[in-house]
Structure 1
């Protein structure tokens, strides 16, 4: 993967990075088009925190688990995503610029919403499936979590889905049982979105 994208893709990345998005939204680059995506809903903070804490105990040496809104670029797919949670090589954040190389990721997690579900299950699955060792999709609408792993030129070769409440094995380079009982959130929340 090209760590220093050039030309039209680099120009589009510059546009994405300079956009003044409304509160609660982030700009991403999907198949060469700028798309506004929402950040996770407030009620998703508890599942994100639980996921991050569990992953932190099992991250590969030199990698960090975080929910900080960084943009990761995938020039071959003309995409740049700001995952809800990422685990990446810390060296990726020593570079100049405002986006990191997607090849630095060891895991990404996305929590679906009505507005992001298609991108999480289609565009991001396709792009991550060629580069990122592990991709977790927390489908908040059906209360299931899917782990994808073993990336290839055609996408992930393996996947496992379990309902929230059942443990999910997170494969190498993490290799542990993820507790998912805390991922369910009230569907009729008093919290304003």
Structure 2
């Protein structure tokens, strides 16, 4: 992961405009802004993609048609002066911008965010994104952490309140993950 300090922007709109016009080395790269720092991430490897595929397939069967499941959607958290691109995000289709520019979706519109850690970004997913998603009151944040201190596990964060998730459930790899309502879904992790 490469990071470069972004110039100081006087407005949120200026920061978003610069994000929209970044010239990435390849279309498969992701550019996020984490507290005004531009972070470019290369495409994930096969293991990461396999996990994303398992979760995506399970979500397709549980998510109503009016909700979209996206893998490259920018999520804006102005309070943190950040734009994230989660590995998976569930958002009402009606909340997706209709224009051709890559306008990020306000984070509070997301119903579920899934992040899959890589060695280079695990702390960002565990700390900055956890705090930002809780601040935006995203109902469910699923962190799939192959590099967790006590072994690979899935952490389901729910019940956001005053900038923190009140509930956290841990599911070691190999055990099924239970997502609460409105998803009411069991995700197998034996392929993780």
2:178 counterpart residue number? 169
Q: Which one of the candidate residues 97, 116, 119 is aligned to 1:114?
A: 119
1:136 counterpart residue number? 142
Kept in 1, the 8 Å contact 2:97–2:105? The answer is: no
User: Shift of the alpha carbon at 1:77?
Assistant: 2.0
2:159 counterpart residue number? 150
Which segment drifts farther, 88-97 or 125-134? 88-97
Structure 1, gaps ≥5 residues long? 1-6, 184-193
2:66 counterpart residue number? 62
2:4 counterpart residue number? none
Kept in 2, the 8 Å contact 1:73–1:101? The answer is: yes
Structure 2, gaps ≥5 residues long? 1-9
Alignment of structure 1 residues 16-55 onto 2, 5 Å: 16-23=19-26, 24-55=28-59
Kept in 1, the 8 Å contact 2:153–2:171? The answer is: yes
Question: TM-score if structure 2 supplies the norm length?
Answer: 0.84
Q: 1:19 to 1:66 in 2, by over 3 A?
A: same
Please, what is the CA RMSD of the aligned residues? 1.9
Distance 2:179 2:62 in 1: 10
After TM superposition, the runs of 4+ consecutive aligned structure 1 residues lying more than 6 A away are none
Alignment of structure 1 residues 172-191 onto 2, 5 Å: 172-183=181-192
